[in-house]
Structures are given as C-alpha cells and as structure tokens.
Amino acid sequence: MEHQTPTPHIGAKYGEIAKTVFMAGDPLRAKFMAEGYLENPVQFNNVRGMLGFTGTYKGHRVSIMGHGMGIPSIGIYSYELFNFYDVDTIVRVGSAGAYHKDLHIGDIVIGLGACTNSNYASQYGLPGTFAPIADFELARKAVAKAEELGYRYMVGNIYSSDVFYEDTPSAEKWARMGVLAVEMEAPALYCNAARAGKRALVICTISDCIFTGEVTTPEQRQTSFTNMMDVALGLLD
C-alpha cells in the first residue's frame, strides 16, 4: 500500500519506524520500556499523546509505541503500522486478568488465539467466523524463551472484550471453555496482521485474578513487568 505518512494518528515519516514494533496500551509504559531497554531511543510520535520511540536493542533496530485501550484503538494503530509504515511484526505486551485457576500475579500468558465479543472481523464479509490467531513462529520462540529463563507461563486462548464493566458477568463461562485470561485488544491486532500478511503476537502478564481478588497497583503495571519484556525482546534473538 502507498506510504500515506504521516497518518492522522502517527506523526512519523516513512522509515522512522522499525520493522518490528512492541506495543503497550499505556503510552507512559511504552516510554518507560523505550528508556529502559533501547539504546539511543528517538521519539517519533506524540499525536494524541500516543508516544512512540525507535532505537536499538542488542544491535536490532526496534520501535516501541502505545496503542491505547480497546480493539478500535489498537485496530487503528496496528493497521497504519502494517499498511502505511511497512512494519512486519507487532508484539503487544500488556496486562490481563486471569481466568485460569493456576495463573497468579506476574505470570505470563502467550495468547495463541483470541476469543471475543467484538464484531471487528465482520468487516471482511467472510461466510463464517474468522478465528484470530497469533503467528506460530513468534509464539514458539516466546515459549522457548520463557522456558529458557524459567518463568511461569501458560499458552492458549485469551478472551478480548469490548466491555470493561460487564452488566452480565461472563468470566465463569469463558473459564469453563479453557480460556486463560481476559484483555481488550488481541483480535484486532491478529485480524490486521492476517489481512496484511504480517506477523503478530500478544504476550500478557497477569495483573489481577478475577476469581481470587489478587491485584496489582497501576504503578506496578507500568514499571514491574520485566519478565514479560525479557520474553518479548527474546523474539529478536
């Protein structure tokens, strides 16, 4: 697709964003990650406060950017990155609420597939239900890195909801289907990657446990998910 840059949502010129982008919902977390992990990070975006940076990590050119909350928001940013900036790979690193009884605060979830109540995929006019899934090679490498580092993790289906405050709670129903955790973005990222012929993966760290009441503070969510980042950045090896 033609390089229509800058876009209405990303102020970078073509070429200022790396082929691999790590994305976090909170732009301040993206800033924290860029300053903590990248060498010589250069800010390429501040449109609507959605911070983005490009630098290097162990010799690899990498970008880190916020994507906001929810499927529509990540849908916009990932679409523009894939289609207008020729990004090849997007890895979302974020938080999720645990549904599975064996997941605890700080555990890692690798989202192999994404269940959802969103109609995002209806835009494709498919004669059936599209199953948004991760790139297998990225998922395989993430599992290998978590194993190598000895981190607690699980791999499987996650649930991505358009609704944060549900009028009719559904957690127990999804848990009965073996869904590991809940977040709010994966299907749009996976659909956009599939449609563009690109690669995507969602890696989440557990920030709260729906059935036990375990929670972390907002400050911890922004600064303390280093295990997840170790796994994500290990994809560059």
pLDDT digit string (tens) for 134-158? 999 999 999 999 999 999 999 999 9
The pLDDT value given to residue 225: 81
Cβ-based burial of 31 (10 A; exposed 0-12, middle 13-18, buried ≥19): buried
Which of these is catalytic: 86, 88, 162, 208?
208
Contact, 65 vs 30, CB < 8 A? yes
Domain ranges of the chain: 20-236
Give the CATH number of domain 20-236; options: 3.40.50.1580, 1.10.1740.10, 3.30.460.80, 3.40.50.620.
3.40.50.1580
Q: What share of the chain is helix, strand, coil (3-state, %, to 5)?
A: 35, 30, 35
Give the helix/strand (H/E) hosting 232: helix 226-233
Task: Say which residues have a Cβ less than 8 Å from residue 121's Cβ, sequence separation at least 6.
Answer: 129, 130, 132, 187, 191
Instruction: Assign 164 a pLDDT band (cuts: 50, 70, 90).
Output: very high
- Per the prediction, the chain carries an average pLDDT of 94
Concerning whether 208 is annotated as a catalytic residue, the answer is: yes
Distance between CA atoms of 201 and 189, rounded to whole angstroms?
A: 8
pLDDT digit string (tens) for 55-109? 999 999 999 999 999 999 999 999 999 999 999 999 999 999 999 999 998 899 9
Q: What percentage of the chain reaches a pLDDT higher than 90?
A: 90
The pLDDT value given to residue 215: 87
Distance between CA atoms of 50 and 97, rounded to whole angstroms?
A: 24
pLDDT digit string (tens) for 18-58? 999 999 999 999 999 999 999 999 999 999 999 999 999 99
Closest CA to 100 of 183, 180, 215: 180
